[in-house]
Amino acid sequence: MTKTAWVFPGQGSQESGMGTDLVSIPLAKARFKQAQNILDWDVTKVCLNENLELSQTLYTQPCLYVISAILADLMKDAGFKPSIVAGHSLGEYAALYAAEVISFEVGLQLVKLRAELMNNTPPGVMTALIGFDRDRLEEQVALTPDVVIANDNHNSQIVISGTSAGVETLLKKIKYRRVVPLDVSGAFHSPLMADISLEFNRTLQTVAFQPAKVPVISNVEPSPSSEASVLKNRLMEQMTGRVRWREIVNSLDQNDVKKIIEIGPGDVLTNTIFKILPSIELENVSSNTNIATTNKQVRLLESI
């Protein structure tokens, strides 16, 4: 049996209209109702309407979590299950849900609080760098105050995070092919998040985690674990720690994963994984249509 990983995208993967084909499915309808009771607003209206809310951290993170969790539910309902899971930043919460470490409701309550805190962060910026000398970058980041590597996505793309002055200083000291400022509300995954991380972790500390049904690879420590205490401690470091996505993908390969399925809106992770492991089997599940197609293909193969 092919060892399969499920991976879940983070903020930046949202798109207007995501979840359109889920609203009439009974399982999904029940989840959307649960979400509305927790959030006091309707995920489907935010996702399906043409407005600016979906691009705001306050709404983006809960919407992404809900859609990703529903798709994971539908995958399981169709008879699929992962061998191991991981998520990119926010996606780690959907991964923990898929591994049954936390319930859907607990996950959404945590994401709601996370989004509220991150929506009101101290001033800061995040910028993607494409095409750079990694050794030179790491060296100059270490020597430049108020800027860190926030997301290590693949060999040719990283995201730096920090104060405007810190980011500007670093950019003057390195060479790169392209720079892309990110439309976010703060310097996520940096020490500037320390205060809100402490506030968030006070709540996280009270939440009961269960041992994972399948191993989870965390953002700040890219090695598989099923221990509840380990997974919670790693999550507590996530808001200020680096998203080590490049290492996560390599860890999946080292753990004999032969197929990786991105579950959630968009194909951002699929594209980054291809750049790291071009020969691995990749699949994208961003709608119920994808699940139905996959199920049909599996049944066809089984009948041959």
| Three-state secondary-structure class, residue 88 | coil
The one-letter amino acid at 258: K
Q: Are 106 and 69 a contacting pair, CB within 8 Å? A: no
The residues facing 126 across adjacent strands are: 161
Strands across the sheet containing 4-8: 216-217, 84-87, 4-8, 259-263, 281-285
- Cross-strand bridge partners of residue 261: 6, 283
Euclidean distance between CA atoms 285 and 231, whole angstroms: 25
Active-site residue, from 13, 68, 83, 89: 89
Catalytic residue among 189, 190, 251, 286: 189
d(CA 211, CA 96): 10
Distance set, CA 298 to CA 54, 293, 295 (Å) = 34, 9, 5
d(CA 177, CA 242): 22
Cα(282)–Cα(276) distance, integer angstroms:
12
Opening angle at CA 249, ends 248 and 255, nearest 5: 85
Tokens, residue 98: 């898929």
The reply to whether 189 belongs to the active site is yes
User: Is 226 tagged catalytic?
Assistant: no
* Length in residues, the chain: 304
Q: E strands, the chain, where?
A: 4-8, 84-87, 125-132, 147-154, 157-162, 176-181, 216-217, 259-263, 281-285
> Which sequence positions are flagged as catalytic?
89, 189
